[in-house]
Amino acid sequence: GNSVTQMEGPVTLSEEAFLTINCTYTATGYPSLFWYVQYPGEGLQLLLKATKADDKGSNKGFEATYRKETTSFHLEKGSVQVSDSAVYFCALSDRETNAGKSTFGDGTTLTVKP
């Protein structure tokens, strides 16, 4: 079956530091890949997505590249802000094997200190 493995947290960084959160996946079909963000007490919001190999998703300074050869979709940001403190979830959806359902990683908590 499909699975998503995320870098374990929590991650604590100083403001303006470089962020990487690792994500690798296992899928039998050709999945689309996503990063979602969850702020305290809220639901998840889509941060970025990529639908095929070598696609780069980007939004709000965050980027992730769909790497089929390494089955990875690592999240990066060059300079984090205190407002980026949140939980980040990597996910995949696979139309062929999962009929549209998504598989989520366990989430990585990011805290950015001023």
Partner 1 sequence: DGGITQSPKYLFRKEGQNVTLSCEQNLNHDAMYWYRQDPGQGLRLIYYSQIVNDFQKGDIAEGYSVSREKKESFPLTVTSAQKNPTAFYLCASSVTSGNPFEQYFGPGTRLTVT
Give per-residue burial for 42-57: e unless 16+ CB within 10 Å, then b: eebeebbbbeeeeeeb
Q: Where are the alpha helices (DSSP H) in 1-114?
A: 95-98
CA 49 to chain centre: 9
Nearer to partner 1 (CB atom), residue 62 or residue 89: 89
At residue 2, the 3 state secondary structure works out as coil
Q: How far is the CB of 16 from partner 1 (least distance, A)?
A: 27
Nearer to partner 1 (CB atom), residue 60 or residue 78: 60
Q: How far is the CB of 101 from partner 1 (least distance, A)?
A: 6
Interface contacts to partner 1, rule CB under 8 A: 32, 34, 36, 41-46, 49, 51, 89, 91, 93, 95, 99-102, 104-107, 109
